[in-house]
Amino acid sequence: MTHIISIGELSSLLPEELLQVLLKQNLPLQRVINALLANLSQKKDSELLAIIQRSNLVNILTTFRDLVQSGVIDDLDVDDLIRENFSSLEQGQQHLFAVLAFLQLLRSSGDAETPEEAQDISQTIEDLKELFRLTLFDSRIAIQLMNLRDEKQGLANQCPCTNCNAKFILSIGWYIAAQEAHDKNMFVSNSN
């Protein structure tokens, strides 16, 4: 007998639990993203920042930024770097939560308790926007990520089973969410 989940139960789930429920339903990526964003919208800014910090995504992107800024990226096999750093489904899940927490943070009206905390959060947001722009959307890196996205999408299209859909969402869903946000100019600096 299947247990029907109520709205109250869904809203009280941790993002990791909600994701597992959604993946079992074999939902398309955009519906998964929307449901996770709704779940994350109930979190405080400090909780969203903690989700971002728990992910290794910022560390990986910081390394990529340093490679780009030093010019070393031109001498490296970017495709190998991308596959080496973004191949784990477990890390992909954490990257997905980090990107969605960041997108929710961008939409947040702010709940800082002090002006200093508000300033720190605002600066962190601007730093993350810049990090995303300088890495995920640097032409040398973006091309390889788009190739990986297309490859994963092709595999998911060949086999629309629940398992393959889950692998697609976990492997590259984070990048697709970030790319859509970038296309909507969500990573534009507020200081311009």
Q: What is the mean pLDDT of residues 132-143?
A: 92
Q: What percent of the chain has pLDDT over 90?
A: 68
Residue 109 pLDDT:
76
Residue 1 pLDDT:
41
Cα separation, 121 vs 53, whole angstroms: 13
Q: Kindly report the pTM of this predicted structure.
A: 0.90
What are the domain boundaries of the chain? 7-183
Q: What is the mean pLDDT of residues 144-153?
A: 93
Cα separation, 189 vs 131, whole angstroms: 11
Residue 115 pLDDT:
87
Q: What is the mean pLDDT of residues 91-102?
A: 96
Identify the band that residue 186 occupies on the pLDDT scale cut at 50, 70 and 90. very high
The yes-or-no verdict on residue 68 having pLDDT over 80 is yes
What's the Cα-to-Cα distance from 11 to each of 5, 14, 40, 111, 171, rounded to whole Å? 10, 8, 9, 20, 25
Identify the band that residue 113 occupies on the pLDDT scale cut at 50, 70 and 90. confident
Identify the band that residue 7 occupies on the pLDDT scale cut at 50, 70 and 90. low
